[in-house]
Structure 1
Amino acid sequence: MFKHSEQVIEDSSEASFYMSPNMIINACPSEIYSQDLVLFLDIDGTISEFNPNPEKSIISSEIIGLLKQLQTYLTLILVTGRSIIQAQNLIYPFKWNIAGSHGLELRYQSELKTLIQLNPERLQQLKDYIQTHARQLAQLRIEVKRYSVALHFREHPDMEQAAHTLALNCLSQFPEFELKPGKYVFELVPQGANKGSAIQQIMQQYHSPTAYPIFIGDDLTDEAGFQAINALKGCSIKVGSGVTAAQYRLENVSQVQAFLEIFLTSLKAQEQQLSEKSHVKTHRVIKSCEST
């Protein structure tokens, strides 16, 4: 029997080691204060508490405020399994950068694009197939997204095996799609759509080789992102327990908020130090000119 990803995480023999936000920031190299700093953030389970119904999820006003302030010092990209439209509803009225649908679509600096090719006709056929075959599984919540379909069973964990069987049946009929297991969800997405690939493309196309990336996420679908960040020699942070490729670990959404607060304070302090050094240097130049 397929074992749900969250149960695998709980049963893992690898002990979780949560670090304080201060410890993580202090462990990061000095590049964390570079001029080209890029912060990638997952949404659900990272900056938004999980809700059985994703449509009822929110991002707190405190975190929204932090993200707004942080963008004075860095580039922010939300990297999520949600579609861009769904993610936008959570941050309204702001129109921030979003890599949506597990990295399939991207809105960057108001420009919209898809990052992989897809067949709209086959996607619609998949959606129709799932909705037809899920009628006998009323306890499953089927979420039809723009580029994917998610089978949620958080409200009814006993439906895990039924959801997994339906997902595998879909793959046998639609092999151009792949299965992404998450926390009480199985999602069918076009082959090649993953957060790691999206992060790599964004860094290559929009940022210099010296840019320093950070990614915070919590789920199995974020692991590809952690691997991409590690390859780029950035900072990868997992939220919650479980085996991970991430370098550091925060305990929950509250600790992510604390990390963002401390990080913002550090960036402000760094800017103040640079400003004071610049002022001292300018003052010395003026004094030198006066003495001559």
Structure 2
Amino acid sequence: MYPQFYEMMGFQHPGGVCFEGCPPAPNLSTTALLIDFDGTLIDMAETPDQTFVPKEVPETMSRLAEAAGGAVAVITGRSVDEVRRLLPGYTGAIVGGHGAEVLVGTDHWVHPLAGSETVAKMTQIAHALTALDPRLIVEPKPAGVAVHCLRVPEMHSRICKFMDAIRQQFPEFDVCCGRRAVELRPRDVNRADAVIRLLDRTPFKGRRPVYFGDDQLDERAMEYVVGTGGFAIKVGDAESYASHRLRGSKEVRDCLEVWSTPRRSAA
């Protein structure tokens, strides 16, 4: 629990964070699993092209998707096609671009602004940032653009201001200052709304949602999941709506491996 919860109950927060370890496996036949990708399912890389996916991950995700009747979704800022490449054989859903594209089965929805001239113009302007420091990485997105600053964290606030200046020229877009990247994306795109829509369609509808995430970008989705009777698992020690904690992506993978093993799953 975090300070605001202790204060609501009239207690003083004791300080520190408790990493409880993997929660008991839920009944996957009645569960909707929602799993953030970078920093949660896999370790965060300095640049997108340095991404490493442990060899067991695609198999674990495929077993989970089969056990859950397809009600497993990877939630990510990456494109759907990129996740498909990184998780070969995975047949569950993918929410790409933080909700700018959604793949469920053979149904692939893409935001109307994806691939537009507007996105191309924004991306071109964002590339000017590399003149400030070549360690900055500009990543084009189907419906937006991101600037990665893991290699130069001291520039994060400057990048946020620069991207906000770009946003003012494109009113259909919002700027999102995440921990590792600053992104421009359509105003009607966010993880919480994507999760709400996903949970209203087959095979997710009527199931208890469980959300794994590590970033501030996940928090509104976690809040919604917890509010509907599901639960969330936070990776790391940042403040969160989640009721459970894991230290890092290795612990997430170990947990999902346990959950994907039938003999260990809840009845």
C-alpha separation between the residues in 1 aligned to 2:118 and 2:138? 18
Gaps of 5+ in 1: 1-12, 27-31, 274-292
C-alpha separation between the residues in 2 aligned to 1:196 and 1:144? 22
Q: Determine the structure 2 residue equivalent to 1:17.
A: 18
Q: Determine the structure 2 residue equivalent to 1:211.
A: 207
Q: Larger radius of gyration, structure 1 or 2? A: 1
Greater helix share, 1 or 2? 1
Q: Determine the structure 2 residue equivalent to 1:55.
A: 49
Post-superposition Cα deviations, 1:10-53, rounded to whole Å, max 9, x if no partner, equal xxx963221111xx227xxxxx3163321111110111111111
Gaps of 5+ in 2: 1-13
Post-superposition Cα deviations, 1:93-132, rounded to whole Å, max 9, x if no partner, equal 4443211000111010121113x54372322221122224
Residue 258 of structure 2 contacts residue 264 of structure 2 at CA under 8 Å; is this kept in 1? no
Counterpart residue type for residue 220 of structure 2: A
Residue 46 of structure 1 contacts residue 216 of structure 1 at CA under 8 Å; is this kept in 2? yes
Q: 1:162 to 1:187 in 2, by over 3 A?
A: same
C-alpha separation between the residues in 2 aligned to 1:145 and 1:254? 27
Residue 149 of structure 1 contacts residue 188 of structure 1 at CA under 8 Å; is this kept in 2? yes
Q: Determine the structure 2 residue equivalent to 1:138.
A: 134
Establish whether residue 237 from structure 1 lines up as the match of residue 219 from structure 2: no
Q: Determine the structure 2 residue equivalent to 1:268.
A: 263
Counterpart residue type for residue 118 of structure 1: L
C-alpha separation between the residues in 2 aligned to 1:183 and 1:247? 21
Establish whether residue 118 from structure 1 lines up as the match of residue 113 from structure 2: yes
What's the % identity of the aligned pairs? Answer: 23
Residue 37 of structure 1 contacts residue 73 of structure 1 at CA under 8 Å; is this kept in 2? no
Residue 100 of structure 2 contacts residue 189 of structure 2 at CA under 8 Å; is this kept in 1? yes
CA RMSD in angstroms comes to: 2.3
User: What SS does structure 2 have at the residue aligned with 1:249?
Assistant: strand
C-alpha separation between the residues in 2 aligned to 1:137 and 1:90? 29
Residue 167 of structure 1 contacts residue 186 of structure 1 at CA under 8 Å; is this kept in 2? yes
User: What SS does structure 2 have at the residue aligned with 1:215?
Assistant: strand
Q: Determine the structure 1 residue equivalent to 2:37.
A: 43
C-alpha separation between the residues in 1 aligned to 2:58 and 2:177? 28
C-alpha separation between the residues in 2 aligned to 1:216 and 1:208? 16
Displacement of 1:244 in angstroms is: 0.8
Aligned residues: 251
User: What SS does structure 1 have at the residue aligned with 2:118?
Assistant: helix
Q: Determine the structure 1 residue equivalent to 2:174.
A: 178
Displacement of 1:195 in angstroms is: 1.1
Counterpart residue type for residue 56 of structure 1: Q
Residue 147 of structure 1 contacts residue 189 of structure 1 at CA under 8 Å; is this kept in 2? yes
Counterpart residue type for residue 39 of structure 2: G
C-alpha separation between the residues in 1 aligned to 2:92 and 2:161? 37
Displacement of 1:92 in angstroms is: 2.1
Residue 14 of structure 1 contacts residue 242 of structure 1 at CA under 8 Å; is this kept in 2? no
